[in-house]
Amino acid sequence: MKEDKNDNRQFLYDILSDYSPSGGELNMQKKIIDMMKDIDDEVICNHNYNVTHVVNPKSDMKILFCAHIDEIGLYVDEILDNGLIKLNRIGHIRPYVYISQQVKVITRDKNKENASGIIGYLPNMNKGIEVSDLRLDIGARNKEEAEQLVSIGDYVLHASSYQLLANDRLSARALDDKISVYILREVLRRAKEKGCENGLYAAFTVGEETTGRGAKIACDIVKPDLAIVLDVSYVNDVNYLEGLHGETKLGGGPILEIGSLVNDKIDEILREIAKDKNMKIQNTVDSSNTYTDLDSIYDRCGGVVGYLVNIPLRYMHSSVEVCDMKDIEDIIELLVEFCFRINKQTSFNPFE
């Protein structure tokens, strides 16, 4: 009987319903550790909130998978005399997508509860606005009242969670990159159940949207034989961005990377698996940087064999990102099979 994979999606819904801004990932990481305790053979935690979940830690073959747990957002920059709040950016945000939105203030002070607020619309606002034009309204009548509720440096994120759409599509804030966290959780779970003997290291990295620090530290600690990064990629099946190349779409299958940072042998193996499974695949080309954790790994650990698997996504860096769960299932199957196709004798040297 075919496994009902929908039962395991509650993990995904749970992490999408919580917050993990870049720099404030600790609570989410603790939550995931608890939710993965029946899968993990070992958990590696770092002082900067990085967490790596391990299956078969005694294996000589180490495969490092990376998915970043942090999300973009805003932070409290200045509290004004009238109780309104000026904001600044965390990562590459688009200021206009916050206008007329309900938001949640994630407080850094453990003695304060998270506050609710809105970012109001003003008549002169348009798509050309800057972060400095945004004002957070938490209902305070003056600066003193606002300071009782929030503090400088508190995180401000979209208050939205997730919504199920037709055709098994999912919309949510922070699918970039929590959908990859879900994928890796499933890869570890299924590969372990099937008896994989390779060492599998799923690093849920911090700070990808800001500094890239998590992937660097994971690579230093694990010292893997190879590293595969999962992240989202724009699709061009909706006309909202110019300059996208190729033909990528939701439901078109995993997007495999072509570029100078990816290893040819890993690419060959993944494409063979997709062919064997009659799985549709798509392609994207990055001739220089990928703007993912793969760049950090390459810069820090240039000798490590690396690859990037992309997840098709609409409306990236908004509160309504959309993915197709058929693509997600294909990526899980692709990576689970990959875990069985390689071993310590597999050569990733293109000169051999």
Domain of 268, CATH number, reads 3.40.630.10
Average predicted confidence (pLDDT) for the chain: 92
Q: How confident is the model at residue 268 (pLDDT cuts 50, 70, 90)?
A: very high
| C-alpha–C-alpha distance, residues 98 and 90, integer Å | 13
Considering the domain architecture, whether residues 88 and 202 belong to the same structural domain is answered as no
Q: Which helix (H) or strand (E) covers residue 98, if one does?
A: none
| C-alpha–C-alpha distance, residues 317 and 175, integer Å | 9
Mean pLDDT of 105-118: 93
Considering the domain architecture, whether residues 180 and 292 belong to the same structural domain is answered as yes
Q: Answer with the one of 130, 158, 186 that is the final residue of a domain.
A: 158
The one-letter code for the residue type at 78 is: E
Mean pLDDT of 55-81: 98
Residue 297 has pLDDT above 80, yes or no: yes
Cβ distance 98 to 81 under 8 Å? no
Considering the domain architecture, whether residues 67 and 100 belong to the same structural domain is answered as no
Q: Kindly compute the dihedral angle of the four CA atoms of residues 267, 300, 232, 61, in this order, to the nearest 10 degrees.
A: 50
Considering the domain architecture, whether residues 60 and 100 belong to the same structural domain is answered as no
Residue 127 has pLDDT above 70, yes or no: no
- Comparing 5 with 27, the larger pLDDT belongs to 27
Considering the domain architecture, whether residues 40 and 120 belong to the same structural domain is answered as no
The one-letter code for the residue type at 331 is: I
**Within-domain flag for 85:** yes
Mean pLDDT of 105-130: 85
Cβ distance 23 to 70 under 8 Å? yes
Mean pLDDT of 177-190: 98
Residue 193 has pLDDT above 60, yes or no: yes
Considering the domain architecture, whether residues 188 and 333 belong to the same structural domain is answered as yes
The pLDDT of residue 1 is: 29
The pLDDT of residue 287 is: 78
Cβ distance 324 to 251 under 8 Å? yes
Considering the domain architecture, whether residues 287 and 146 belong to the same structural domain is answered as no
The pLDDT of residue 242 is: 61
Considering the domain architecture, whether residues 317 and 192 belong to the same structural domain is answered as yes
Considering the domain architecture, whether residues 332 and 197 belong to the same structural domain is answered as yes
Mean pLDDT of 302-321: 93
Cβ distance 258 to 284 under 8 Å? yes
- Give the lowest-confidence range in 61-70, 119-128, 268-277: 119-128
Considering the domain architecture, whether residues 257 and 271 belong to the same structural domain is answered as yes
Mean pLDDT of 291-319: 90
- Give the lowest-confidence range in 143-157, 163-177, 301-315, 324-338: 301-315
Considering the domain architecture, whether residues 180 and 36 belong to the same structural domain is answered as yes
Total domains, the chain:
2
Residue 289 has pLDDT above 90, yes or no: no
Domain region containing 50 = 5-71+173-341
Considering the domain architecture, whether residues 213 and 292 belong to the same structural domain is answered as yes
**Within-domain flag for 167:** no
